[in-house]
Structure 1
Amino acid sequence: MAGWVYRENNVPHYQRLFQAGNKKHIRQWSQTPKSKIILPLYYVMLFGSFSASMYMIGRQIFGHKTWFGKG
């Protein structure tokens, strides 16, 4: 029921990891092993949604209310 109470404390491990990155001038969010997977997906979603918004704003300016075609 309360299995999380007896977990190993990972705070000292992450403190060493993040403090070692400061000497190498690596940003904190790109220091963990998971960040090699998560950050590219985040950037694709961030810039993809921004590009899609700018595309549709341009279409709205010219009077088109749909993604494709003349509608």
Structure 2
Amino acid sequence: MAGFVNRENRVPYYQRMFQEGAKQHVRQWNQTARGRGMLRAYYGVFIVTMGGSMWMMGRMVLGHKTWWGK
């Protein structure tokens, strides 16, 4: 726990970085590699979820109540 208390204050660094990005019209979540990676994971889950929902909605309209069989 002592490492957390004596840690370097990174707030000024991130403040400068995000203010410079705002001048260049870069969205906040695209300014760091971590944000871009988290967005890729979010979009992947979103696409798979929406695709599965649309697939099953189409199957239900046709009267099938399972994913693949009759």
Could you tell me which runs of 5 or more consecutive residues in structure 2 were left unpaired when the two chains were aligned.
none
Q: Does 1:45 align with 2:51?
A: no
- The secondary structure found in structure 2 opposite 1:12 is helix
Superposed, 1:4-43 pairs within 5 Å as 4-43=4-43
Is the contact made by 2:29 and 2:36 (CA closer than 8 Å) also made in structure 1? no
TM-score, length-scaled by structure 2? 0.85
Aligned AA (2:52): A
Give unmatched runs, 5+ long, in structure 1: none
Q: Percent identity?
A: 53
Quote the Cα distance in structure 2 between the aligned partners of 1:18 and 1:48.
31
Which deviations, in whole Å up to 9, do the C-alpha atoms of 1:18-40 show, x marking residues without a partner? 11111111111111121232221
Q: Which residue of 1 aligns with 2:55?
A: 55
Give 4+ residue runs of structure 1 displaced > 3 Å after superposition.
none
Give the CA deviation at 1:5.
Answer: 0.9
Q: TM-score, normalised by structure 1?
A: 0.84
Q: CA RMSD in A?
A: 1.3
Displacement, 1:12?
0.8
SS at match of 1:34: helix
Would you say how many aligned residue pairs link Structure 1 and Structure 2?
Answer: 70
